[in-house]
Amino acid sequence: MKVLVAVKRVLDANVKAQVKADGTGVNIASVKMSMNPFDEIAVEEAVRLKEQGVVTEVIAVSCGVAQCQETLRTAMAIGADRGILVQTDDELQPLAVAKILKALVDKEQPQLVILGKQAIDDDANQTGQMLAALADLPQATFASKVEVSADKVNVTREVDGGLETISLSLPAVITTDLRLNEPRYVTLPNIMKAKKKQLDTVKPEDLGVDVKPRLKTLKVSEPPKRGAGIKVPDVATLVDKLKNEAKVI
């Protein structure tokens, strides 16, 4: 069984985002970039399935600038067998990424595609669902448990009402939630091994995909700064302020 895992290069979760002075976006120059945490969970799950003997090959895919090679090398250090970089300097929106992944699914014919449920930069939560629609594949989003057997995969999903378990026929698309697993620590020997693994680079046009943005960002701004808190002498005053000043009750 072959598994395709999508990984995205994003601003490191421990770095405070700074908006550009002209309001056109977030400043990512000279700041630490890392693999999207949800995608790291996706890679870990694919590697665990391989270690269980269910999967024979794990292919990591990233779309974006040349520096995304670093993200792919991290995925290969976790345990992915090879990487594919779809290199472009254009802004990539969820639909464009889904189209790229659809083209790679057609080419590689994986039995399972695993993605993070969302990226921590745009929080779109769209790519997995769009890919499933474009490729006409069954999907299970927000997965907290994955069990593969023969030509089926049982996925436990985190939904508003609790947990839901569904069964999908393979091939299928799965998006990962936080509680699916805890990604392993990447060791130096595995980092060195990852440098020798195969990494192919292609362009979107090589796959016949138009990545022209469909959406336009008008302005990016920081949220208003939180005001200082106050102490109140009693519950009555608290209720009065919540009702008449904060207007939340």
The DSSP secondary structure of 37-76, one letter per residue, reads: HHHHHHHHHHHHHHHTTS-SEEEEEEEESTTHHHHHHHHH
Arithmetic mean of pLDDT, 108-133: 95
Arithmetic mean of pLDDT, 35-64: 96
In whole angstroms, how large is the CA radius of gyration of the chain? 21
Give the tens place of pLDDT for each residue, 202-215.
999 999 999 998 88
User: Scanning the structure block, which residue is given the tokens 């302005």?
Assistant: 219
Arithmetic mean of pLDDT, 179-201: 94
Give the tens place of pLDDT for each residue, 133-181.
999 999 999 999 999 988 899 999 999 989 999 999 999 999 999 999 9
User: 171: cis peptide before it, omega within 30°?
Assistant: yes
Q: 139 by DSSP, 3-state: which?
A: strand
Fold of the domain built from segment(s) 2-244 = Rossmann fold (3.40.50)
User: Scanning the structure block, which residue is given the tokens 């089926």?
Assistant: 152
The predicted pLDDT at position 226 comes to 82
113 and 6 Cβ atoms separated by less than 8 Å = yes
Give residue limits of the domains in the chain: 2-244
The predicted pLDDT at position 249 comes to 86
The predicted pLDDT at position 22 comes to 87
pLDDT band at 222 (very low <50, low <70, confident <90, very high): confident
The predicted pLDDT at position 18 comes to 86
Could you tell me the pTM of the whole model?
0.86
Arithmetic mean of pLDDT, 120-129: 93
The predicted pLDDT at position 15 comes to 87
The predicted pLDDT at position 245 comes to 87
